[in-house]
Amino acid sequence: MIIQLDPWITGADRQVLEAALAAIDYKATEVRTQERLYLVAIGKKEFDIRSIGHLQGVWDVHRVSDAYKLVSKKWKVGHSTIEVGDGVSVGGEEIALMAGPCSIEGEAQIVEVLTHLRSQGVKVMRGGVFKPRTSPYAFQGIGLDGLKLWHQHAREFGIKIISEVMSVQDIQPMYDFLDIYQVGARNSQNFDLLRELGKVDKPVLIKRGLSGTLEDLLQSAEYVFSGGNERLMLCERGIRTYEQAYRNTLDINAVALLKDKTHLPVILDPSHGIGIRRFVEPVALAGVAAGCDGLLFEVHAIPEKAWSDGQQTLNFAESRRLIHKARELFSFCRGLDRAFPVDQDLA
Ligand code: PEP
Ligand code: MN
């Protein structure tokens, strides 16, 4: 059960509520987020929900039988829109596009990609400065100095930054230089990291774990939400299966299902999802058709020269084409009647 409280509930009203919960054998945990105050109450007994709902200081009560609670759609009507700042949002009426290289490489590459994104009206650039690589001998990312350089240029272009945070100790140093923290697939169940991100007043994108179930992902989101941060989005990026023909098995089902289970925005990463450049566009569009709120994909001026993941990275012409088609399809699917200009040099 989720009980939304008046944030200024009196001590006396609180005692009455706690006694009422104890009487029906429910154990309550207080969750104070940056926006609201809740009690998440767990118990088994049948009871009349109105006996809680009418108490002083209680705004609203909902039964939520799922293992995850605050991220569930059972209590919150409609979808959450996440404000990133300066009018940029995720989960609103426009498709959220976040694109950029797998790894940030240096000034020239940063400016090339920013120029491309600005020309396409893309408001968020992705890129890793701390890279989770399978081999310790592979390129590990250019680190915090790279993030600072990137941030300086991105601000000049008016473009927001999403970047992966790999450890608790990097949260604070990165804070002033990014707009969205990305939790990578390999850290999807790093509960210490998730709990700490609950304390941060910046949005968080959580990727599905390499072999994570959708319930695992929703529970990870619950960690951040109950830790205090409601500005959350989920990302399907493919899972490990027996199939070897492509990098991961991109689970389009997950998009449709997550949109039904949670009020949080759902993002699709087709680049890591399939891992093969020429199939990134079709699977991205499949995700849009399935109802995702946005795409996170890899783009580079010369993918063949990218320092990591070039095999799944789009060049600028391919990126333009995907952006155009994704916007058209998104508008069609959401029943919006919007016209987007077609680029002159579209192939
Ligand atoms: C990434 O987006 O840079 C990345 C490493 O992806 P994932 O965590 O999905 O493997
Ligand atoms: Mn990558």
Query: Given this model, what pLDDT does residue 335 score?
Result: 84
- Mean pLDDT over the full length of the chain: 96
Token pair 């109950």 is at which residue? 226
285: enclosing H helix or E strand: helix 277-290
Among 129, 164, 187, 205, name the best residue to mutate to test ligand 1's pocket (greatest count of ligand atoms within 8 A of Cβ): 164
Same domain, yes or no: 191 and 306: yes
Q: Is the pLDDT of residue 346 over 50?
A: no
Q: What is the CATH number of the domain that holds 255?
A: 3.20.20.70
Give how many domains the chain has, as a whole number.
2
Query: What residue owns the CA closest to ligand 1's atom 10?
Result: 185
User: Which is it for the CA torsion 150, 152, 154, 156, positive or negative?
Assistant: negative
Domain limits for position 338 = 82-346
Give residue 335's region: left, alpha or beta (phi > 0; psi -120 to 50). left
Query: Could you tell me if residue 76 is inside a domain?
Result: no
Residue 61: name the closest of 38, 34, 30 by CA.
38
Same domain, yes or no: 126 and 57: no
Would you place residue 344 in the very low, low, confident or very high pLDDT band (cuts 50, 70, 90)? Answer: very low
Contacts of 340 (CB under 8 A, 6+ apart): 324, 327, 328, 331
Query: Could you tell me if residue 73 is inside a domain?
Result: no
Query: Could you tell me if residue 111 is inside a domain?
Result: yes
CA–CA distance, 61 with 75 (Å, rounded to integer): 8
Torsions phi, psi for 265 (to 5 deg):
-65, 150
Q: Is the pLDDT of residue 338 over 70?
A: no
Record the tokens describing residue 230, joined without a space: 């409601």
Query: Could you tell me if residue 330 is inside a domain?
Result: yes
Same domain, yes or no: 162 and 310: yes
Query: Could you tell me if residue 290 is inside a domain?
Result: yes
Q: Ligand 1 center to residue 337 CA distance, Å?
A: 34
The finding on whether 164 has its CB within 6 A of some atom of ligand 1 is yes
Query: What residue owns the CA closest to ligand 1's atom 8?
Result: 184
Q: Ligand 2 center to residue 23 CA distance, Å?
A: 52
Same domain, yes or no: 106 and 181: yes
Q: Which DSSP category does 314 fall into?
A: B
Of the ligands numbered here, which is closest to the C-alpha atom of 207? 1
Q: Ligand 2 center to residue 191 CA distance, Å?
A: 23
Same domain, yes or no: 7 and 95: no
Query: Could you tell me if residue 234 is inside a domain?
Result: yes
Using an 8 Å Cβ cutoff, are 238 and 249 in contact?
Answer: yes
Query: Could you tell me if residue 74 is inside a domain?
Result: no
Point out the ligand 1 atom lying closest to the alpha carbon of residue 185. Answer: 8
Task: Say what percent of the chain tops pLDDT 90.
Answer: 95
pLDDT one-digit tens code per residue, 39-87: 999 999 888 999 999 999 999 999 999 999 999 999 998 899 999 999 9
In degrees, to the nearest 5, what angle opens at C-alpha 202 toward C-alphas 196 and 206? 65
pLDDT one-digit tens code per residue, 21-39: 999 999 999 999 999 999 9
The reply to whether the predicted model has a pTM over 0.85 is: yes
Token pair 């390129």 is at which residue? 139
Same domain, yes or no: 121 and 45: no
Query: Given this model, what pLDDT does residue 340 score?
Result: 55
Point out the ligand 1 atom lying closest to the alpha carbon of residue 207. Answer: 9
The finding on whether 185 has its CB within 6 A of some atom of ligand 1 is yes
Record the tokens describing residue 15, joined without a space: 């005692």
Query: Could you tell me if residue 77 is inside a domain?
Result: no
From first CA to last CA, the distance across the chain in angstroms is: 53
Point out the ligand 1 atom lying closest to the alpha carbon of residue 182. Answer: 2
